């Protein structure tokens, strides 16, 4: 059970990471389903966003380093079988703090959308990212 000071510290830990950049948000979201290596993260984001967000390796590894440094993700020691692996790959997984920050960011974004809708701003029938494909 949390006491008030532990709960406040935990909320402070989450709050200090907000807001996330779009790249950070997408990387954390890619890790919700399990561990992935860098290229797997790139592919998952590209597929999920239908190409609207494409991360280059430089952008990805800069963001990964920041997320590791912040304690939101960690490098996993677990590896797939050698036949299915490349020993140069690094696998990443979401930490409990990373999951909490992702939840808080999703709530923050949801609140922004509610505010926009309250002002009469509604999504177009066809999302912008689907027009370019």
More confident residue, 43 or 125: 43
Lowest mean per-residue pLDDT among 26-35, 107-116, 120-129 = 120-129
Query: Which pLDDT score, from 0 to 100, does residue 1 have?
Result: 37
- Which residues on adjacent β-strands are paired with residue 93? 74
Q: Is residue 98 over pLDDT 90?
A: yes
* Domain ranges for the chain: 4-131
The 8-class DSSP code of residue 91 comes to E
pLDDT digits (tens, 9 = 90+) for 44-68: 999 999 999 999 999 999 999 999 9
Instruction: Say if residue 82 is exposed, middle or buried (CB neighbours under 10 Å; 0-12, 13-18, 19+).
Output: exposed
Q: Is the pLDDT of residue 89 over 70?
A: yes
- Looking only at the bridges linking them, the beta strands covering 73-75 and 91-94 are antiparallel
Q: Which pLDDT score, from 0 to 100, does residue 14 have?
A: 95
Domain 4-131 has CATH 1.10.10.10: yes
CA distances from 26 to 49, 82, 95, 124 (A): 9, 28, 15, 22
CA distance 126 to 34: 31
């Amino acid at each position: 059970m949390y006491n008030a000071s532990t709960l406040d510290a935990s909320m402070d830990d989450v709050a200090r990471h907000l807001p996330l950049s779009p790249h950070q948000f997408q990387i954390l979201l890619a890790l919700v389903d399990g561990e992935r290596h860098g290229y797997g993260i790139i592919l998952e984001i590209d597929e999920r966003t239908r190409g609207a967000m494409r991360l280059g390796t430089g952008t990805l590894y800069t963001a990964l380093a920041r997320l590791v440094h912040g304690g939101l993700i960690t490098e996993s020691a677990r590896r797939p079988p050698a036949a299915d692996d490349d020993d140069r790959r690094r696998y990443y997984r979401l930490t409990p703090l990373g999951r909490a920050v992702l939840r808080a960011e999703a709530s923050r974004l949801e609140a922004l959308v509610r505010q926009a809708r309250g002002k009469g701003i509604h999504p177009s029938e066809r999302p912008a990212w689907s027009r370019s494909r």
